[in-house]
A and B are shown apart, each in its own frame.
Chain A
Amino acid sequence: MTDQEFKSWLEDQVPKSPSAEFDQKLKSQAQGLLSPQSSTFKFKRILLVVAIILVVLTFLPLVINLYLGRDKPNEWNQLKAFRGGRFEVHDAAKYEFTSPYSRLQLTEGEVRAIPSDYPLEVAFSGGFLNIEKGRCSVNIQRVKDKSMNQGPTSASPIVSFVTVSILTGMTWLDFDSELHLGEPLSLSPKDVVSFNLTENGRLQNFLINGAELAELSLDESLHFLGRIVSAENGKPIPKARVHWAKDLSPKNDGKVIYLSDGKGRRGRYFRSPFEKGIRDTGLWFPFDAQLGIEATTVGTAGYFKLRKPKKGESLIIEADGYKAYLSQVIQKVDKIESGKTYKLSRYHTIEGQVALINGKPIHPAAEVRFYVTHKIPATEKTARWSVDVNEEGRFNIATDDVKEVQLLTSVTGCEDQRLNIQLNKDQKATPLKLILAPRPATFGSIVTTDGKPLQGVDITIREFDGSSSREKRKRGVKTNSKGLFISNVSSTSLELETFKEGFKVWKGKADPNQSLNITLQPAIKQIVEGLVVDSKGHPVKNLGVSATRKAGGDLAFGKVEIESQTQEDGRFKFELYPGRYLMTLHPKYSKEVTLYGAPYLTIVPWSKENRLSLPFSIGTVEVTSDKKLPVLRVNLPEMGSIQGFETSPAQGRPLKQSNIGLLSYGIRDWGTVIAYLKTDLQGKFVFENLAPGRYGLSKDQHIQLIEVESGSNEVFLDTKTAVVAGSVQRDGKPIGVSKVIFGRWEKGELTHTTYCRTNAQGEFEHTKVPLGRVSVLISDQRVTGTTMMTKLDLKENVRGLKIDWPKVQIKIKAQKSLPKNSRVKVKFLEFDGLVLKRLAQPHYLTAGTAQSDDQLNYVLKGVSPGRYLVYFDGEGIDERIEIAVEDQDVTLQLENSSD
């Protein structure tokens, strides 16, 4: 082909012109831009400029006042209020409020503002006003409503919303900042508005011309008005929430059901038009955010204002500590009465206090968690929420329309306790006294050398098995603001290790239930140096190095990470406080993927083709304050590369490019994407700089296991597949929407996995199952909590495969006392000669979990023949038993561990 022919061939490959519709659309868009009327972009630009100028003009004086005005605290006396408004100040004493626009003064908790010519403008001032002496600021603003457009010349401006916030020193007071006035309020220049600010920042006695707001008359023709008082004493209830709620049932006769967690937060349940049952719309969210329901708060005198109701709505009133009011569904809007008083009665509350069995109070650093569980009326569901417990151990549970609640307590240093409480609506429950039994715990205090408590010290607690040195468990805890800590333990042999930046590490043994008082000595940073060389001994530069400290057993807890980089000579350097650090290498620009003790080293430098890489763990170093560490030398292994082909030469080359992923293959980290790339037109792909070891190659849903050695490795993706279709059932009933996982095995190794799902009728069809010896797992964790298997020798398409859930059971009886409802887990070990430990994904490995009944019996149903590992998922028992299951039920006796 000549150049000219090639050029014209190239020209033919690209379409000549866009579609006629596209042309038309573009032209009309262009016309829109060109016509002067709709040159919105110009207009927008002008608007933007005007807005910027306005913002600058508004805030510049404030900023100037902030930075320059401090020296002139008395100037406020002469300042004018914003755009004509004026505040008058009485009894200048404690605080002085100044601003370029207005003056306010706080005297003994009272703010008095006297609007002058245009009070609306004063109220509308918006931005923060600065205050000398303690840097307070007051913000008075109006709610948006139509009357705003009346402008400053309006004869009776309206204020309907006031916000006051105060900043003292550099801290904002948590301020009860909102005062909603039930009805828009008319102010004239002669009106005096005043209110008190209490010490804790509450707004009280909002007075207009000396009269409380409650005396304002409300216009009933425009709104739905009402008043909310307490049923017990007739006093108005402040800050109640009022809503129109629409029932979502098709006939409007359904009932909206609410449950409270005692804090005014609610779970909402309602009947939806599309479902027969009651639907959970999500638990515990602020009430007023859902379903487009209108909400407002009431003023201090208990009045509220809502829009007029619509047909099919119900009125809902809520207030903290009171039972919610729910009206009938409104059928005829004209007949609904406005201006009524609603009496709310208090919740049924249970008061109580917790103490330890020996009369001691709960440890001040203990984590206290109380959960209340009860049935949701008219449903099969249960609700669960947490209850606050104060420092003295007192708590208060408020419930509504519930006959019985279950209380679960979980307190550090105490045994968990479950309690069923019967509620009688008519009687006031006697205060509960909860007695908690102590349990083994380690506790104590940490101070500096001059006796000050140290907050936030990371403490790692290692538990050992009896007298042996085998580490059983690792926990982490932090000291509280008083330098105190407490942590549950399950062993008598403990070792504690502290870490706090700037202090030496304290390490020592501890006895459970004996207070440990530690004094930490100050420390300085130590220099840690290292060198990274490749397999030929040449230094490796520009490699990222990080030192990570993880406290306790929790990865997210107290994590500190310091970064460095290797220089031209391959050296890196850190300055670290004493402690244990995990050193990792990672190529620059790489995404970090944590390898939990993966047995293979993997380095994939960043490049255009393979974008991700794994860090390589050098190991843990212990930095001490008295000994300098030797230079850490890291020898990288000789790297390997994969020259891969999407198909074998016999199959011909593929028609288009496809995505190939490189996955990690470690016992605890399997299937993490290390890198991915597109094959070229010949189906070829290359991964370079891989550390020798095992990897997975993925294409679509296929995963193929490969072994990479130093140097070049050639790999063909084996994509010969067959169709497998069939159905899954248990006791003749289909098992719908469960995962069907196919795993291909070769020489006892899992080389491919792929999956599909069953439909509602329990049928499945997977069109690309790799040929060979294939195991089939049915994973239906949501419904049955069990995974079962069958096997195939796949040579051609298989249809009509019927998989019956096995009926064999594993029955377990635990002998000693264990917490009720403890869980036992069963994992696959072997199935039909296939060692399933290799199936490293925990999800595939778990054959099932079971919860005990009151007599500590556990039953796992539907277990297929094979070998399993049985163990407890939690504390109390430390037994792992391997069992073989054939075609009969298996019964097991388990005993508690030594403690």
Chain B
Amino acid sequence: MTDGELIQAIRQGQSHAFDLLYQRHREAVFRYACALSGRIMDGEDLLQEAFLGMIRNIKSIRSTHSVLPYLLRSVRSRHIDQLRAFSNRAKAIGEQDFFSEDPHPESITMEGERLTILFNALAELSDVHRDAVLLKIYGGLSYSEIALLQEVPQATVRSRYRSGLGHLKKILGKGV
């Protein structure tokens, strides 16, 4: 069954179709969300919102091929919304409180620590380079799919990915 057929089935309220679709894409969406947000908990939140959002907007999904780019785009826009809300909150509580923010308990675990290091290194990349790397490695998209998503030629995606990866390697070089 293609994604398009599954979407059709979900529209008719068939929950097993959703289960199939979720099983198919959850790993890519989750990994992309984790790498993007730098926290496993945030990754899970984004994953949840992306899939539940998909159900809510199921009528407007036109994709007949793969629904993955749609889900990844949804994760990215929700992540940006969260950042905006967070920065507003930071303004509201004042900078002083910012200093006293304790490390997130999750970052104490090995898994969390690894993710934090990666996240900090990724933060050094420019937005477009980071996005290309994340979509390719964790989202599992092809160059052509990323090109469609970013609305740029395939060659540009390819070069962004390569240079992003190189830069990342340089940043992480000592730690690897």
Contacts and interface: CB of A to CB of B under 8 A. Distances in A.
B48 A26 contact: yes
Given A6-B176, A26-B51, A15 B137 contact: no
A656 B116 contact: yes
A41 B40 contact: no
Contacts of B63: none
Interface in B159-176: 165, 168-169, 171, 176
A332 interface: no
Contacts, number: 98
A34 B22 CA distance: 14
Interface residues of B, number: 43
Nearest to A17: B27
Contacts of A228: none
B143 interface: no
Contacts of A656: 103, 116
A29 B47 contact: no
B70 interface: no
Contact of B30 (A11, A13, A17): A17
B52 interface: yes
Contacts of A26: 22, 47-48, 51-52
Contacts of A673: 95-96
Given A15-B34, A33-B56, A41-B56, A659 B26 contact: no
Contacts of B10: 34
A337 interface: no
A30 B52 contact: yes
Interface string B133-172: 0000110000000000000000000000000010011010
Contact of B44 (A7, A22, A681): A22
Contacts of B115: 13-15
A244 interface: no
A27 interface: yes
Interface string B1-41: 00000000010011100110010001100110011000010
Given A33-B56, A681-B121, A14 B35 contact: yes
Q: What's the dominant secondary structure at chain B's contact region?
A: helix
B111 A34 contact: no
A34 B27 contact: no
Interface string A655-682: 0110101000000000001001000010
The number of chain A residues touching the other chain, given as a range, is: 35 or more
Contacts of A17: 26-27, 30
B168 to A, nearest CB: 8
Nearest to B34: A14
A31 B15 contact: yes
B56 A29 contact: no
Contact of A13 (B15, B118, B165): B118
Contacts of A651: none
Most buried by B among A14, A34, A41, A659: A14
B84 interface: no
Nearest to A657: B120
Contacts of B116: 656
A35 interface: yes
A34 B21 CA distance: 14
B95 to A, nearest CB: 5
Interface string A529-540: 000000000000
B99 A29 contact: no
A700 B168 CA distance: 30
Nearest to A33: B55
Given A14-B34, A34-B18, A681 B51 contact: no
A659 B98 contact: yes
Contacts of B40: 15
16 contacts: A1-B169, A6-B169, A11-B138, A17-B26, A18-B47, A30-B18, A30-B51, A30-B55, A31-B15, A34-B18, A659-B101, A661-B95, A661-B99, A681-B120, A681-B121, A698-B99
Given A36-B13, A681-B120, 14 more contacts: A3-B165, A6-B169, A7-B165, A15-B34, A15-B115, A17-B27, A26-B48, A26-B52, A30-B51, A34-B13, A34-B15, A41-B56, A659-B98, A673-B96
For the complex of A and B, 7 pairs with smallest distance between CB atoms: A13-B118, A33-B55, A14-B31, A31-B15, A673-B95, A13-B114, A34-B13
